[in-house]
Amino acid sequence: MKRTVDYTWRLAELMAARGLHNSTDLMPLLHERGIELSRPQVYRLVAQRPERVSLQMVAALCDIFGCGVDDLVTVTATDTRRKRAASTADVVEMNKAARPRRARVITDD
């Protein structure tokens, strides 16, 4: 059986719980831990769901918020069912000879 794995990035929730309401408030805390990011990079880290994050970044965020990785990222996995192949038992074959033909109008002229 196939499984679908997804995750939720919860950095904004952790920041709000600590009273950090702007993404720029995170910049000096990351700088203290040796991570230099620009304002747009920090904003994207907070506001969007990142596809790739270094382990050093994850470790720094966990240290800042005093949490574990499972508090920062929530993983969900669900089973996906395969689609059944369409059966031809319910399909009615149309006979082309039985289909109506377009009427031709003939005038008496």
Q: How many angstroms separate the CA atoms of 61 and 63, rounded? A: 5
Across 16-40, average pLDDT: 93
Total number of residues shown for the chain: 109
DSSP 96: G
pTM: predicted TM-score of the whole model, two decimal places: 0.68
Which domains are seen in the chain, by residue range?
2-80 (1.10.260.40)
Interhelix angle for 11-18 vs 39-47, to 10°?
A: 100
Q: Residue 78 has what pLDDT?
A: 86
Name the nearest CA neighbour of 10 among 39, 45, 43.
Answer: 45
Name the nearest CA neighbour of 42 among 56, 22, 58, 62.
Answer: 22
